[in-house]
Structure 1
Amino acid sequence: MRVVIIGGTGHVGTFLVPRLVLDGYEVICVSRQQRKPYRSHPAWKFVTQVAIDRTEAEEKNLFGKQIAELNPHVVIDMICFTLESAKGLAEALMGQVQHFLHCGTLWVHGHSERVPTRESQPRNPFGEYGINKAAIESYLISLSRRKGFPATILHPGHITGPGWMPVNPAGNLDPGIFSRLAGGKEVVLPNIGMETVHHVHADDVAQAFVKAMDNWSQAVGESFHVASEQALTLRGYARAVAEWRGQEAKLRFLPWEEWRKTVSGEEADLTWDHIAHSANASIEKAKERLKFQPRYSSLQAVREAVRSFWEEEYE
């Protein structure tokens, strides 16, 4: 069975491609070939690499045709961010593929209201990324149920792992937060630190894609959350990171409007996105229907990622 992965050299693809090869699939990786996988693996020797610049191809209305010409049985799209892009690809693959899997995001839900959030809860997305991903999900689910297009959408949490900076206890990507907690220095968090982040290891996301393929009848026409077993509060997350080095977290809290003045505009915007969403997702549907079982807790996934950046500090 031939599987085409669009964006297969990204973080999830780094783990997904070897899984598929070892399971006996013929794998074609479509990318701009501007980056190597985050981690080497002998399985990549058996992967066919196809160079396509998606943006350029879509501008010429060629991308869907180019993917269809690869004669895939399964297409996994890791890098679709607009409804127009999703429509162009789905229309080209209609009647041509056995399974189409799209990588979404927990942010399709918008503000968390009842937690842990289930897939069946109403969508109230905000921000360009969440709104676009929610529109893609709605389109693909509708297309599946109306016309039989075999679509499945997986919604990961905050993906992390070796080579990928994790969302930190302040809700942004400043690596200095981890260093300060490890060194017993004060860290200032927004509000009272009770907002949540929900991480997932990239290999667990890869596992979920394979499980969805293995459980086709349960997966088609459905969306699934893919995350660790539990979300973390910012406060609890910070304390756990400090404990890795035998420290007691020295935390101080500021109201949002005061806190945002203590960091750069980019960091403030990223923190706001994370705490406004406060992702906290149920994975019971994926566990029940796909037999998905994450290997990593949120803290285990983060710790592995942090070690890949600062091995000596966190040994």
Structure 2
Amino acid sequence: MKVLFIGGTGTISQAVSELAVKKGIDLYLFNRGNSNHLAPAEAKIIEGNIRNPEEAKEKLKGYDFDAVVDWVAFTPEHVRNDIEIFRGKTDQYIFISSASAYQKPQTSYLIDESTPLANPYWEYSQNKIACENLLMAEYRKNDFPITIIRPSHTYGKTSIPAALNSHQAPWSLVDRMRRGKKILVHGDGSSLWTMTHNSDFARAFVPLLGNMRTLGHAFQITSDETLNWDQIFRAIARAAGVEKLDLVHVASEKIAEYDQRFRGSLLGDKAVSVVFDNSKIKRFVPEFKATVSFAEGVKKSINWYDNHPEEKQIDEDWNKLMDQIIAENGS
């Protein structure tokens, strides 16, 4: 089977790329070549700019694929370009959406693929919804062969996943913990959340490649383990060898007043309890079972950083913001 990944070296897609080639898939990566040192040696690289449709068409001239996955499509414009480029060149186009597209606030804490898509808080999620709507219309009207995937908070060895951490320097949270600094938690720490290791995601995703039964369907892929946020932060601390953890709880709405980005990532995603019902993906991939607990997965991440001290970058601006919010709101 010949498969094209647009991207293919990110946190989620890297794990999928590695498993795909292990399964014997003839994998091609189309990207700008900036991170191809992270690609599997077996993958074939096509360097190009997917944002330039004419260039992409030229680079992909003569190629046809059983499946194309765009890991880096975020807006309707990106998707329109993909439709133009890949119509007639693939039997399956897989769009990576987001579980953050689900209804916020949702009418039920239990989420499945029938949960409405509506997120008034986060432009990122609104764009993903618009992409899904565009693709479903193209499938219904013109038989464009789409499959939609909705991941939620998926992490890998270079991630320290938390609701409040620096995106630029994930080690910053562990550094605070190891230095005995107070740790900010949104809400009262009791809302429920799910973390998914990228290796588990890959085990569910790869069998969907080239599977014509999935056309026209949307799937969420997450772990079945559900933890509250206090448990998540304490699991990170235990993995980091921190015995005493000082958690400070501040309302999500108050935190969002300090930085507009929190409006999306908290109010539009992590502030409310979510439990995922993965019955649908298990019907299509009966062998799928998430096996990496969060305690195990985050321990792997911290071990990776401890073995790569050059990657332990600290975001001082984020640290100052955490200190400010805690000082002005903590008890």
Which residue of structure 1 lines up, in the alignment, with residue 322 of structure 2? none
Which residue of structure 1 lines up, in the alignment, with residue 235 of structure 2? 240
Which residue of structure 1 lines up, in the alignment, with residue 155 of structure 2? 160
Q: AA paired with 2:128? A: K
1:1-315 aligned at under 5 Å gives the runs 1-38=1-38, 44-55=40-51, 57-58=52-53, 61-63=54-56, 66-67=59-60, 69-113=62-106, 114-126=108-120, 127-163=122-158, 165-168=159-162, 170=164, 173=167, 175-181=171-177, 185-213=181-209, 215-217=211-213, 219-244=214-239, 245=241, 247-256=243-252, 259=255, 270-276=265-271, 279-291=274-286, 292-311=288-307
Closer, same or farther: CA 192–82 of 1 in aligned 2, 3 Å: same
Q: Structure 1-normalised TM-score? A: 0.82
Deviation at 1:299, TM superposition (A): 3.5
Deviation at 1:100, TM superposition (A): 1.4
Closer, same or farther: CA 167–79 of 1 in aligned 2, 3 Å: same
* 8 Å contact from structure 1 (residues 197, 275) kept in 2: yes
Can you list the C-alpha shifts for 1:207-265, whole angstroms capped at 9, x where unaligned? 23212126431x1111111111133321221233334436254323233465568x777
* 8 Å contact from structure 1 (residues 30, 52) kept in 2: yes
Which residue of structure 1 lines up, in the alignment, with residue 316 of structure 2? none
Q: AA paired with 1:187? A: I
* 8 Å contact from structure 1 (residues 54, 63) kept in 2: yes
Q: State the alpha-carbon separation in 2 of the partners of residues 115 and 68 from structure 1.
A: 47
Of residues 281-290 and 237-246 in structure 1, the stretch that sits farther from structure 2 once superposed is 237-246
Q: Secondary structure at the match of 1:310?
A: helix
* 8 Å contact from structure 2 (residues 48, 55) kept in 1: no
Q: State the alpha-carbon separation in 2 of the partners of residues 169 and 100 from structure 1.
A: 31
Deviation at 1:303, TM superposition (A): 2.8
* 8 Å contact from structure 2 (residues 74, 124) kept in 1: yes
Q: State the alpha-carbon separation in 2 of the partners of residues 73 and 162 from structure 1.
A: 30
Q: State the alpha-carbon separation in 2 of the partners of residues 112 and 2 from structure 1.
A: 40
Can you list the C-alpha shifts for 1:99-138, whole angstroms capped at 9, x where unaligned? 1111111111141421221110111123221011111112
Q: Structure 2-normalised TM-score? A: 0.79
Q: State the alpha-carbon separation in 2 of the partners of residues 264 and 83 from structure 1.
A: 26
Percent identity between matched residues is 20
Deviation at 1:158, TM superposition (A): 1.2
Closer, same or farther: CA 142–301 of 1 in aligned 2, 3 Å: farther
**Runs of 5+ in structure 1 lacking a partner?**
none
Closer, same or farther: CA 303–142 of 1 in aligned 2, 3 Å: farther
* 8 Å contact from structure 1 (residues 171, 234) kept in 2: no
Which residue of structure 1 lines up, in the alignment, with residue 328 of structure 2? none
Q: AA paired with 2:44? A: T
* 8 Å contact from structure 2 (residues 70, 95) kept in 1: yes
**Runs of 5+ in structure 2 lacking a partner?**
310-331
Closer, same or farther: CA 36–145 of 1 in aligned 2, 3 Å: same
RMSD value, Cα: 3.0
Deviation at 1:310, TM superposition (A): 2.9
* 8 Å contact from structure 2 (residues 33, 47) kept in 1: yes
